[in-house]
A and B are shown apart, each in its own frame.
Chain A
Amino acid sequence: MTKVTMTVNGKAASGEAEGRTLLSSFLREELGLTGTHVGCDTSQCGACVVHVDGVAVKSCTMLAVEAEGAEVATIEGQAAADGTLNTIQQAFQDHHGLQCGFCTPGMVMSAAALLKDNPKPSEQEVRDYLEGNLCRCTGYHNIVKAIMAASGQDVSAIAAE
Chain B
Amino acid sequence: MYEFDFVKPSSVAEAVAALGEEEAQALGGGQTLIPTLKQRLASPSKLVSLGGIADMQGLRLDGADLNIGGATTHGTVAAEAAGSYPALAVLAGHIGDPAVRNRGTIGGSLANNDPAACYPAAALASGATIVTNAREIAADDYFDGLFTTALEEGEIITGVRFPVPEVANYQKFLQPASRFALVGVFVAKYADGVRVAVTGASEEGVFRWTEAEAALSGNFSADALDGLTVAADGMMADIHGTKAYRAHLVGVLAKRAVAASA
Contacts and interface: CB of A to CB of B under 8 A. Distances in A.
B8 A20 contact: no
Contacts of B27: 63
A61 B103 contact: yes
B97 A132 contact: yes
Contacts of A133: 97
Given A20-B1, A20-B2, A41 B98 contact: no
Nearest to A49: B99
B179 interface: yes
Given A19-B4, A20-B1, A42-B38, A57 B103 contact: yes
B38 A46 contact: no
Contacts, number: 70
Interface string B48-59: 010100000000
A18 interface: yes
A61 B47 contact: no
A9 interface: no
Interface in A88-126: 110, 113-114
B30 A129 contact: no
Contact of A56 (B1, B35, B38, B102): B102
B238 interface: no
Given A55-B75, A61-B31, A19 B47 contact: yes
Contact of A61 (B2, B8, B35, B98): B35
Given A43-B100, A56-B98, A63 B38 contact: no
B192 interface: no
A133 B100 CA distance: 11
Q: Is the interface of A mostly helix, strand, loop or mixed?
A: mixed
B5 interface: yes
A22 B47 CA distance: 14
B190 interface: no
Contacts of B100: 43, 58, 61, 132
Q: Which of A20, A62, A65 has the most CB of B within 10 A?
A: A20
A131 interface: yes
Interface string A47-73: 001001001111001110110100000
Q: Which of A43, A52, A114, A131 has the most CB of B within 10 A?
A: A43
Contacts of A56: 98-99, 102
Contacts of B8: 65-66, 68
A61 B30 CA distance: 7
A20 B37 contact: yes
B98 A113 contact: yes
Given A49-B99, A63-B30, 11 more contacts: A19-B3, A20-B3, A42-B35, A42-B38, A43-B34, A43-B35, A57-B102, A63-B27, A110-B99, A131-B97, A131-B179
24 contacts: A19-B4, A19-B5, A19-B6, A19-B47, A20-B4, A20-B37, A42-B38, A43-B34, A49-B99, A57-B103, A58-B100, A58-B103, A61-B30, A61-B34, A61-B35, A61-B100, A62-B30, A63-B34, A66-B8, A110-B99, A114-B98, A129-B98, A131-B97, A131-B179
Interface of B: 1-6, 8, 27, 30-31, 34-35, 37-38, 47, 49, 51, 75, 96-100, 102-103, 179
